[in-house]
Amino acid sequence: MKKLLPALAVVGVLILANALFGGSLIPGVAMPPYLLQVICLAGINITLAVSLNLINGFTGQFSIGHAGFMAIGAYVSAYFTVTFGDRLRSALPFVPSVGRESLVLLAALSLGAICASIAGFVVGVPSLRLRGDYLAIVTLGFGEIIRVFILNIDAVGGARGYSGIPRLANFFWIYLFAAATIMVVSRIVRSSFGRTLIAIREDEIAAEAMGVHTTRAKVISFVVSSAMAGVAGGLFAHYLMYVHTNSFTFLKSFEIIIMVVIGGLGSISGSVLGAVLYISLTEGLRQFAQYRMILFSLLLIVIMIVRPQGILGHREVVAFLKRKRSSEATSGIRGTG
């Protein structure tokens, strides 16, 4: 029960915040729709960045195909709600309508996550035997292949994009899954399996010599990461109500990588920070749209030269602040002495 309390608190706060932002808690008080949309997209990006960090930051395997798994999650879950959503709703007449919608969303998201993780397994098994740059290029290739195949499926709109998806996701669901992703990844990283992953990142050959089944560990972390990307994709589809394969090109994968790298590879709070920073900068610089990506690419190069470990490095925000404070304290002592 004690362990459940924080989780319940998070859910409670999210329900309250959702009602407040949506305008149903205090009549007349609501978040401007544009701002709310930016915040919701930031939440989806947090899920994407944190899940990518599991494979890129903690396992040290550089994947550039995250958008592909996001696309699978988006299309599969959207197809499910559009085709089977009504049948599922009519099968549950005894559940209140809010619960029915939630169940449809949850079913769609889980299906999307399952399909994305199957794809992650199929992609991961052959490609995770490769090292470094080869893996990067193969994941990029798989991401593009996934996209081209979806583009050729007429049942989900093909090149016209897929429209008519009901809006089932909102602030509450997006941030619930963002929180769940953060929790799952941080629990994995602190477990003994997480130490296996970090061992692979630090030195793959040494890890193998210590008896770690490296390919197996890498595939597991890849599959978990893909499943989370699938959930993020599903939320994306059910929030914007329209998906097009152009949203899932490798530029999207690059975007997620920029978030992870800016925040710090191997830092969960870093990824959250990176995602929020990225979204606020892109939205804040909207009137300078054509300079925006130039700025980001320069930022990426400069960060790599000046601080290749990202803003937070491997550390979490708590440890980062603690270290800052203690170093300030010691310098203070030195100053008086």
Partner 1 sequence: MTTFLQQIVNGLSLGSIYALIALGYTMVYGVLRLINFAHGDVYMIGAYVGYYLSRRLQGKEPSITSALIVMFGAMLACALLGILIERFAYRPVRRQARLTLLITAIGVSLFIENTAQLIFGPDPKFFPSLAPHADFIVAGVRLTSEQITVIVVSFLLMVALRLFILKTRTGKAMRAVSFHLDAAKLMGISTDRIIATTFAIGSALAAAAGVLIGMQIPKIDPLMGILYGLKAFVAAVLGGIGNVPGAVLGGLLIGSSEVMVVGYLSSTYRDAIAFAILILVLILRPQGLLGRVHKEKV
CA distances from 243 to 137, 158, 164, 213, 248 (A): 25, 10, 10, 38, 9
Please identify which residue in 138, 150, 200, 217 interacts with partner 1, judged by CB under 8 A. 138
| C-beta closer to partner 1: residue 23 or 126 | 126
The residue (of 178 and 262) whose beta carbon lies closer to partner 1 is: 262
Is 140 a binding residue for partner 1 by CB under 8 A? The answer is: yes
Counting contacts by CB under 8 A, is residue 58 touching partner 1?
A: no
- Count the residues of the shown chain that bind partner 1, applying the rule CB under 8 A: 38
- For residue 45, what are its two tokens? 């990006």
Interface positions, 152-211, toward partner 1 (CB under 8 A):
152, 205-206
Binders of partner 1 in range 229-258 (CB under 8 A): 254, 257
By CB under 8 A, the residues from 85 to 124 that bind partner 1 are none
Q: Which residues pair with 243 in a beta bridge?
A: 162
Which residues, at least 6 apart from 184, have a Cβ–Cβ distance to it below 8 Å? 224, 228
Both tokens of 57, joined, read 């930051």
Among 305, 334, 335, 337, binds partner 1 (CB under 8 A): 305
The full length of the chain comes to: 337
Least gap, CB of 133 to partner 1 (angstroms): 5
Q: Report the C-alpha gap between 333 and 337 in whole angstroms.
A: 6
Residue 336 buriedness (CB in 10 A; 0-12 / 13-18 / 19+): exposed
Closer CB to partner 1, residue 37 or residue 215? 215
DSSP-assigned letters across all residues of 20-60: HHHTSSSTT----HHHHHHHHHHHHHHHHHHHHHIIIIIS-
Closest distance to partner 1 from the beta carbon of 276 (Å): 20
> Which residues are paired to 242 by β-bridges?
163
Q: Which of 46, 240, 261, 273 binds partner 1 (CB under 8 A)?
A: 261
Joined tokens for residue 21 = 């932002």
Using the rule CB under 8 A, is 149 a contact of partner 1?
Answer: yes
Residues 6+ apart with CB under 8 A from 311: 262, 263, 264, 270, 273, 274, 303
Question: Quick check: 141 binds partner 1 (CB under 8 A)?
Answer: yes
The one segment of 22-30, 173-181, 304-312, 323-331 that binds partner 1 by CB under 8 A:
304-312
Per CB under 8 A, the list member of 108, 128, 136, 174 interacting with partner 1 is: 136
Looking at residue 212, the DSSP 8-state letter turns out to be: -
Question: In the complex with partner 1, which residue's Cβ is closer, 57 or 234?
Answer: 57
CB of 297 to partner 1, least distance (A): 4
**CA nearest neighbour of 268 among 63, 56, 62, 54:** 54
Given 60, 112, 120, 264, the residue binding partner 1 (CB under 8 A): 60
Structure tokens at 179: 């929180």
145 forms part of the interface with partner 1 (CB under 8 A): yes
288 near partner 1 (CB under 8 A): no
Q: Which parts of this chain interact with partner 1 (CB under 8 A)?
A: 60, 62, 126-127, 130, 132-134, 136-138, 140-142, 144-145, 148-149, 151-152, 205-206, 254, 257, 261, 265, 290-291, 293-294, 296-298, 300-301, 304-305, 308
